[in-house]
Structure 1
Amino acid sequence: MPAAAGAAIVAVVVVAALSRVGCVNVYTPPGHEGYIKSNPIFGAAEFVGTQDGPTSTGWVWRQQVVNIDMRPRTYSEEMTIPTKDRLELKFRAHARIQLRRGSVKELVEQYGGENWYRANVQDQFRSAVRAEVQQLDAFEVKDRMADIGAAVLAAMKKRYGGTPIEFISVDIGNIDYPEQVVRAVVGKFVTNEDNERKDIELRIAQRQIDIGIAEAQGVADAQRIIRTTLDPMFLQYKALKAIEQMANSANTTFVVMPYNPRSNAPLIMQLGGGGQ
């Protein structure tokens, strides 16, 4: 009788231990959603349910969980893309993505579970970035990084609308120009400086020419005025006015002859001075 009782006790302990070995308490951490499925000894696993972390199932018989992080996260891609002018640019494309709450079952069954980004988004995201960059010259990419990001974001929102995958933002940065592009930029800068210097020199030369023309025009105008206004009658008038002024001079005697053939004015002689 005691032997039978001992055997019964051993059997109970063994059954309890074996049952405990098959029991699990699967846990889902904060920010995650858990996809719970059975873990049979034989046959295929079946969907059991979902849970929103932080939580656990409690002790259950042979189950397992796939936890998916639903929180926003940045996915960065190193890219090397030939531009429109056939120069290769190296840069990083950053996509901020979050997963729609309550979609863990769809993510696991249709989008690859924990590998949803690599399986369904990575190649599509890279292709969208490549399509935008290849339309631009190398010098345009840096100036239009915001435009590229906006265009790629719009394309991704359209592509993944109605799915568990939600794009928040796309940014392009860390552009690394190849050496030939750097040389081209420096050459263009130097050329622009040379052109600006030559433009300044040309404007200075043109200004000097304009000043010379203006001075020459002034001299020509003055000569024209003299030629057209200083006629013989006017000169005779000025000579008579000068005689009137000399007549008022004290102790001075002048002899005035009516006409000087060289100047069309009266001939004036000063007596005693030896001159005229």
Structure 2
Amino acid sequence: MDKLPKIALPIIFGLIVLVILISKSAITIESGQAGVLYKTFGGGVVTDELPMGEGFHIVAPWNKVFIYEVRQQEVFEKMQVLSSNGLEIKLDASIWFEPKRELLGKLHQEKGTEYIQRVLLPTIRSAARSVVGRYTPEQLYSSKRDAIQEEIFEETKKIVDGQYIQLNEVLVRDVTLPPTIKEAIERKLKQEQESLEYEFRLVTAKKEAEKVTIEAQGKANANKILSASLTDKILQDKGIDATLRLAQSANAKVVIVGSGESGLPLILGNN
């Protein structure tokens, strides 16, 4: 009985140490995450192997694992930039991105876990200033939003691709101009729209007038041709045809006496 406590104490101590070692060595990586291993006595960050995947892992207690989100992420950025004529423009954008999984070790070694603040956001701000500076407020307000969105994406992508970051999309959600400039642009656009409507009405009226003129000219030409074709002989033949049709009618009594100046029979009466 006296020996039991002496045996139990080392066992209990060993179990405690084992539990501590297991707790320090056990790493669980959740869905959408990956781990970068840092070997304290083995050369530091492991860059020549793929990062640790999802699930449960055991590592030496003196090593560390840095966990990164490797799914697509989104950050929002509000920026103040200048247009081509020096006016201040407010730009709201969202950026879709993810770290390049196979290069996660390099990303951690060179940029660290704060890579979004250190690399991505400064790059997007620089690209936005460069792109917006090429356009006037009128272009930004009316027709060039898609263009600046695509250009910001391309300029940002060229830089972050070499920084182990995959850029998926840049979305320009809002472009805010100074109120006085916005009102002036809206007035100008309204005037241009009214001018286009007036020009359309003029063109429509002109086409309608041309149509009426053409129709009238066509009728005049037709009458001219008809008049030229109605000779005395043709009129006399048509008169004879009409007289014969009247004579054949069951409801008519026709008396023909002599002829008129044109040589046609005279119809004196009928019932």
TM bin (shorter chain): 0.5 to 0.7
TM-score, normalization by structure 2: 0.62
**Residue 36 (1) aligns with residue 37 (2):** yes
Report Cα offsets for 1:129-153 as digits up to 9, x if no partner: 1111012111111311221122222
SS in 2 for 1:26: strand
8 Å CA contact retained: 2:51, 2:102: no
Q: Does 1:73 align with 2:61?
A: no
Residues 77 and 94, structure 1, Cα contact 8 Å, conserved in 2: yes
CA distance in 1, matches of 2:163, 2:194: 56
3-state DSSP class of the match of 1:103? Answer: helix
Q: Give the letter aligned to residue 87 of structure 2.
A: L
Superposed, which structure 2 residues align to 1:261-272 within 5 Å?
none
Distance change in 2, residues 1:131/1:177 (3 Å): same
Q: Which residue of the partner structure matches residue 179 of structure 2?
A: 179
C-alpha distance in 2 between matches for 1:152 and 1:47: 33
Tell me if structure 1 keeps the 8 A contact 2:123–2:159.
Answer: no
Instruction: Tell me the percent identity.
Output: 15
- 2:128 maps to 129
Look up the SS of the partner of 2:114 in the other structure: helix
Supply the distance in 1 between the matched residues of 2:199 and 2:173 (Cα, whole angstroms): 36
Residue 168 (structure 1) aligned with residue 163 (structure 2) = no
Structure 1 match to 2:9: 10
The residue correspondences of 1:88-237 to structure 2 (distance < 5 A) are 88-112=88-112, 114-142=113-141, 143-189=143-189, 191-192=191-192
- Inter-partner Cα distance in structure 1 for 2:91 and 2:166: 23
TM-score, structure 1 as length reference: 0.61
Distance 1:80 1:28 in 2: 39
CA separation in 2, counterparts of 1:52 and 1:148?
A: 38
1:195-247 Cα distance to aligned partner (Å, 9 max, x none): 6698799x79xx9xxxxxxxxxxxxxxxxxxxxxxxxxxxxxxxxxxxxxxxx
Between stretches 67-76 and 124-133, larger displacement belongs to 67-76
Question: Helix, strand or coil for the counterpart of 1:79?
Answer: strand
Separation (CA, whole Å) in 2 of partners of 1:197 and 1:63: 74
C-alpha deviation, 1:180, in angstroms: 0.9
> Aligned equivalents of 1:118 and 1:7: distance in 2?
57
Paired letter, 1:125 = I
Root-mean-square deviation over aligned CA pairs: 3.2
CA contact (8 A) 1:33 1:102 kept: no
1:140–1:34 Cα change, 3 Å: same
For structure 2, list consecutive stretches of 5 or more residues without a partner in the other structure.
Answer: 207-271
Report deviation, 1:111. 1.3
